[in-house]
Amino acid sequence: MPSAHFGLKLLASDLITAARRAVFNTPHGQIETPNFMPVGTQATVKALTSDQLHELGVSILLANTYHLYLRPGSDLIAQAGGLHSFMNWDRPILTDSGGFQIFSLASTLKLDKDGVSFASIIDGSRHRWTPEDNMHVQNQLGADIIMQLDECPPYPAEREQIANAVRRSANWASRCRAAQTNPKQALFAINQGGVYTDLRQESIARLLEHDAESSGFEGFAIGGYSVGEPHAVMIESLAEVAQALPTDRPRYLMGVGNPTSLLRCIALGIDLFDCVLPTRTARMGSAFSSQGRLNLRNSRFARDLDALDEDCSCSTCSNYSRAYLRHLVMSKEILASVLLSMHNLHYLLQLMHHCQSAIAEGRYAAFLADWLNSPAANDY
């Protein structure tokens, strides 16, 4: 069985869809699901402080093992007391294994059955990770939830390449489980298989076989989506994947943050999400809104003294006009990234709260239908 420090408690299920509301316990607090995790790749959510993240109600954030291993180094972070102390964050943290980053740099890697060798994006130095090495690094970082090292093929990729990645990733999941012995860290296995439904199912079968043979995984992630495949293809195959995963553990869809995609995937039974989209689009001068995405570089906002989104209660919308925000964007002021990042994250987190309420009241199907027929669903 998974570690006693972690556990998923199902609170409610929708009457029509597969949407569910739950609480996942960790040593640094509870995570109510469905939930969105802001991405703090370098142990910082870009442009925002820990106090601001608290103010927004962020309950869990993500950091990246590959980047932190390279700089400033997991040894230093361990010496500082782990990521929580290092970045002044007292709530749950999830670390991605870095597998996606390694395999996205295909020209620099050398893969074998025992591990992968790769080059640093910082100085070109060579490094090698086995699943056991990766678990050691994530143990040093000290996140509450850690990911297995997996092989994430690009899109598109040949079926044979994806099939090999499924089998290698399942084997590495077993090795990660054997190497990860810290009971205060939850280990999530990762489903792969690209857009091939049968390979996705094979991946699940292999992971569940290892799950039964070991102390068990505390959760299951779904990787290899949102890497360029058509959105409809992702949704179609994701439905079968979600329903084939255990119901007593979290289901985490990696790398998805588009508001409409989030709502569609929640209807399929997904619990957790992460994506750089809200903060990245903020730095590009764009904002989520009840009227769809707003590009503040557009000249129509130059003299618009209305709030960014009249339906939003965040501090940005309560205190600053569209004209002022556009002025900051066009002037390339740092404050533009701060204020728009706060708004975009508030928008997604409030959307998650609305989803939780709709599920608890058994009306998620109607909530989703209303969203899809609203202006908010535009431009995503």
- Model pLDDT for residues 292-351, shown as the tens digit of each residue: 999 999 999 999 999 999 999 999 999 999 999 999 999 999 999 999 999 999 999 999
Two structure tokens written together for 278:
């809200």
Say if residue 71 is in the same domain as residue 36: yes
Say if residue 246 is in the same domain as residue 306: no
Say if residue 322 is in the same domain as residue 189: no
Average pLDDT of the chain is 96
Average pLDDT for 29-55 = 98
Say if residue 147 is in the same domain as residue 258: yes
- Let me know if residue 264 belongs to a domain: yes
pLDDT over 90 for what percent of the chain? Answer: 90
Question: Predicted confidence band at 215 (pLDDT cuts at 50, 70, 90)?
Answer: confident
Two structure tokens written together for 260:
């409409």
Half-sphere exposure in the Cβ direction for 380 (13 Å, CA)? 25
Give per-residue pLDDT as tens, 116-141: 999 999 999 999 999 999 999 999 99
Contact criterion met (CB below 8 Å) for 242 and 210: no
For residue 2, the model assigns a pLDDT of 62
Per-residue pLDDT at 107 exceeds 60 = yes
State how far the Cα of 87 lies from the Cα of 85, in Å rounded to an integer: 6
Say if residue 260 is in the same domain as residue 344: no
Boundary-marking domain end, from 219, 245, 275:
275
Say if residue 249 is in the same domain as residue 330: no
Q: Residue 85: which domain range?
A: 7-275
Total domain count, the chain: 2
Task: Tell how strand 126-129 and strand 116-119 pair up.
Answer: antiparallel
Two structure tokens written together for 26:
């960790």
For residue 16, the model assigns a pLDDT of 97
φ, ψ at 64 (rounded to 5°):
-115, 125
Say if residue 263 is in the same domain as residue 288: no
Partners of residue 128 on adjacent β-strands: 117
Per-residue pLDDT at 1 exceeds 60 = no
Q: Please state, in angstroms and as integers, the Cα–Cα distance from residue 360 to each residue in 146, 246, 293, following that order.
A: 29, 21, 28
Say if residue 29 is in the same domain as residue 149: yes
Say if residue 252 is in the same domain as residue 288: no
Q: How far apart are the first and last CA of the chain?
A: 40
Say if residue 263 is in the same domain as residue 191: yes
Q: Please state, in angstroms and as integers, the Cα–Cα distance from residue 296 to each residue in 36, 228, 286, 309, 330, following that order.
A: 24, 26, 6, 12, 9
Task: Tell how strand 7-13 and strand 20-26 pair up.
Answer: antiparallel
- Let me know if residue 90 belongs to a domain: yes
Per-residue pLDDT at 69 exceeds 60 = yes
Per-residue pLDDT at 227 exceeds 90 = no
- Let me know if residue 376 belongs to a domain: no
- Let me know if residue 175 belongs to a domain: yes
Question: Predicted confidence band at 380 (pLDDT cuts at 50, 70, 90)?
Answer: low
- Let me know if residue 380 belongs to a domain: no
Partners of residue 82 on adjacent β-strands: none
Q: Of 104 and 355, which is predicted with more confidence?
A: 355
Give catalytic residue positions: 96, 274
- Let me know if residue 263 belongs to a domain: yes
Boundary-marking domain end, from 220, 254, 275:
275
Two structure tokens written together for 285:
């001068």
Say if residue 250 is in the same domain as residue 361: no
Contact criterion met (CB below 8 Å) for 221 and 191: yes
Say if residue 120 is in the same domain as residue 250: yes
Average pLDDT for 144-162 = 94
Per-residue pLDDT at 26 exceeds 90 = yes
144 SS3 class = coil
